[in-house]
Amino acid sequence: MEAWRTVIRILAGDRVTEAEDAARAQKELKRAKAVAIRVNGAVMGLDALATIDTLDPSANVEAITLESPDGLEVYRHSVSHVMAHAVKELFPEAKIAIGPAIKDGFYYDFDLPEPFKPEDLAKIEKKMSQIIKKQAGFERREVSRAEAIELFREMGEPYKVELLEELEDDTVSLYEEGGFVDLCRGPHLPGTGRIKAFKLLSIAGAYWRGDEKNKMLQRIYGTAFKDKEDLQKHLDWLEEIKKRDHRRLGRELDLFSINDEIGPGLILWHPNGATIRMVIEDFWRAEHLKSGYKVLYTPHIAKLELWNKSGHTDFYSENMYSPMEVEGVPYEVKPMNCPFHIAVYKSSLRSYRDLPIRYAELGTVYRYERSGVLHGLMRVRGFTQDDAHIFMREDQLDQEIQKVIDFTLFVLNTFGFKDFDIYLSTRPEKSVGSDQHWASSTAALEKALKAKGIDYMEDPGEGVFYGPKIDIKVKDSLGRSWQCSTIQVDFNLPERFDVKYRGKDGEEHQPIMIHRALMGSLERFFGVLVEHYAGAFPLWLAPTQVRVLTITDRHAEYASEVRDRLLAGGIRAEADLANEKIGYKIRQAAVRKVPYLVIIGDDELEARTITVRKRDGENIGPFPLEEFIGILNDEITSRR
């Protein structure tokens, strides 16, 4: 009873007498709209209080509601449980696996003789609603592991038995709702009646425990929110994501393709996409030259021994391809550019006066990704990094990191990204190098972030094997985070490759090395740009900046002249001279999201001017052509 009285005391803020009981606590928790509680930091279901004999009156107890992430996780986990219950009622032969809450939703994995069909989702939703209406409670009970194994073996649930057999705990928890029993740590809602808004979204395949050697199961994804209004907002957001999908827009705008005859995860850049990439690369090179970098080009393969020396075969082999043999010597397609840049550095003697030396390369690398995780431009097998390596003295480290941070944010801002999630990733379990080097590298990155006044989060154990890093994730126009930029401090590779410079004292010293990528993979960054702008690129990036449209055939000659003068003025222009109605031509240009349309009719032909229609439908002009070219170049130069 003491546990309940403590909860009343904290939530109700008054004294509690011996006569008060669990009913009072439940009333107070209901008043607070609690779906769970947090006791000294641990999230518990409301049912857990019944099993607590005593609770320190000084304990920190909080009511968890659906306004909090923890409350939504409990809620979605409970909806996942109800979904599994519904599937078992509709498909008794189904074997259940796992069903956690995830960001914005939940999923559950099932093993069935026949695959789910899309129309099954509606049937499962209907059954879930029937289960929810019964308002059954989620009842938790603890049993011995042996008892649970026997129970699920009798129920014919081999995946639950496998999980139980690997647990070390002597006691496990089960949850029962409406006769459906599941193995679960919980917590869950007090009852199904608290579930107000959910939607099943899709069906996918998923290997049991994420291992492609195991059986492929069927995964149902869903989402759930505290009310129908929040659910509809989320569904609208998901619909907008579908509209912006870079794979769909890639086809519609003729930007890129992936061909099975060439191989999955290998990108073919079409003229429109290649034009945008060219603009990105030209901007990248120009800004690097301004910032004191030297541009390199390096081979796509190297002897396997190079990757043994760098440590990649020890720490990165699962992402590397099988070696090829050239004249009896094993070679490997490169997964990284860094050993090549080191080789360029070592090609000459270096003095302390030469440092820092900054090498940059748009280097194409190849990494093995399982076919199941390949995803358009976002996850590929061959991609180009906007890579750079900076060699410096220790006294230059702080300043160089700050310069890289400034450079990174300038580049990302130029492409229209203003909001970021920034992480400081520390030493992973599998790593190389001394504790001293890791500590000083991490401290240098942290110092730079603080010096720039940048808010960041620590990401423990997520550094690379040779050093800590700063990861910068851009937030797109829909608020989604994308990993792009990284800044890594490395003492290890200079040591492995015996990289030196001659110091002021005449002795040899080992430089420190920074690995950095501002955009990361060009393929991924391009995909993010497509979705960020929904394919409507700003003028400086648009593959076709102006399309000249004729109203009738008699305007074709002047339209061609206008196009040619635009091209001569540095504008990417094309002309649509087809014998089609002007409305149709405008619609076609709108599909391709061309920023400006020049309309040529009788008035324009007679006055030797142009009328301009912007992408949003606004008509501007008429203009003398040279004035319009000046307006366009101003907009392009400003990169608005």
Of residues 47, 387, 490, 576, which has the active-site annotation?
387
Alpha carbon distance, N-terminus to C-terminus of the chain: 65
Query: How many whole angstroms separate alpha carbon 311 and alpha carbon 492?
Result: 10
At 18 the pLDDT is 43
The backbone region for 366, taken as left when phi is positive above 0, alpha when psi lies in -120 to 50, beta otherwise, is beta
At 373 the pLDDT is 87
Question: Is 389 annotated as catalytic?
Answer: yes
Task: Say yes or no to pLDDT of 264 above 70.
Answer: yes
Tell me, what DSSP letter sits at residue 540?
T
Using DSSP bridges, classify how beta strands 357-366 and 180-183 pair: parallel, antiparallel or unpaired.
Answer: unpaired
Question: In sequence order, what DSSP letters do the residues of 79-110 get, joined into one string?
Answer: HHHHHHHHHHHH-TT-EE----EETTEEEEEE
pLDDT tens-place string over residues 16-25: 444 455 566 6
Query: How many whole angstroms separate alpha carbon 149 and alpha carbon 4?
Result: 33
Angle, to 10 degrees, between the axis of helix 2-12 and the axis of helix 22-31? 30
Cβ contact 547:598 at 8 Å: yes
Identity (one letter) of the amino acid at 556?
A
Q: Which residues contact 570 (CB under 8 A, 6 or more apart)?
A: 633, 636
Task: Say yes or no to pLDDT of 370 above 90.
Answer: no
Q: pLDDT confidence of 62, banded at 50, 70, 90?
A: confident
Of residues 469, 524, 547, 555, which has the active-site annotation?
469
Query: How many whole angstroms separate alpha carbon 354 and alpha carbon 348?
Result: 11
% of the chain with per-residue pLDDT over 90: 83
Query: How many whole angstroms separate alpha carbon 264 and alpha carbon 165?
Result: 38
Question: Is 260 annotated as catalytic?
Answer: no
Of residues 385, 396, 488, 545, which has the active-site annotation?
385
Query: How many whole angstroms separate alpha carbon 377 and alpha carbon 246?
Result: 8
Give CA angle at 573 (571, 575), nearest 5°: 155
Indicate the SS3 state at residue 149: helix
Q: Span 460-465, mean pLDDT?
A: 89
Cβ contact 312:342 at 8 Å: no
Query: How many whole angstroms separate alpha carbon 423 and alpha carbon 460?
Result: 10
Query: How many whole angstroms separate alpha carbon 177 and alpha carbon 172?
Result: 17
At 616 the pLDDT is 92
At 14 the pLDDT is 47
Of residues 5, 219, 312, 389, which has the active-site annotation?
389
At 19 the pLDDT is 42
Number of other residues whose CB lies within 10 A of the CB of residue 572: 18
Of residues 244, 338, 386, 524, which has the active-site annotation?
338
Q: Which of 360, 407, 357, 404 lies closest to 385 in space, CA to CA?
A: 360
Cβ contact 5:21 at 8 Å: no
- Report the length, in residues, of the chain: 640
Name all domains of the chain by residue range, CATH numbers in brackets: 2-64 (no CATH), 69-235 (3.30.980.10), 274-298+337-532 (3.30.930.10), 299-334 (no CATH), 546-638 (3.40.50.800)
Tokens of 14: 């008054």
Q: Span 324-352, mean pLDDT?
A: 96
Task: Say yes or no to pLDDT of 13 above 60.
Answer: no
At 16 the pLDDT is 41
At 54 the pLDDT is 56
Query: How many whole angstroms separate alpha carbon 14 and alpha carbon 8?
Result: 8
At 393 the pLDDT is 96
Task: Say yes or no to pLDDT of 2 above 80.
Answer: no
Q: Span 115-126, mean pLDDT?
A: 96
At 595 the pLDDT is 97
Q: Please tell me the least confidently modeled range out of 36-40, 487-491, 540-544.
A: 36-40
Tokens of 130: 């029937």
Of residues 515, 516, 563, 593, which has the active-site annotation?
515
Tokens of 232: 């509809």
Query: How many whole angstroms separate alpha carbon 491 and alpha carbon 253?
Result: 45
Question: Is 469 annotated as catalytic?
Answer: yes
Of residues 334, 341, 367, 563, which has the active-site annotation?
367
pLDDT tens-place string over residues 156-213: 999 999 999 999 889 999 999 999 999 998 899 989 999 999 999 999 999 999 888 8
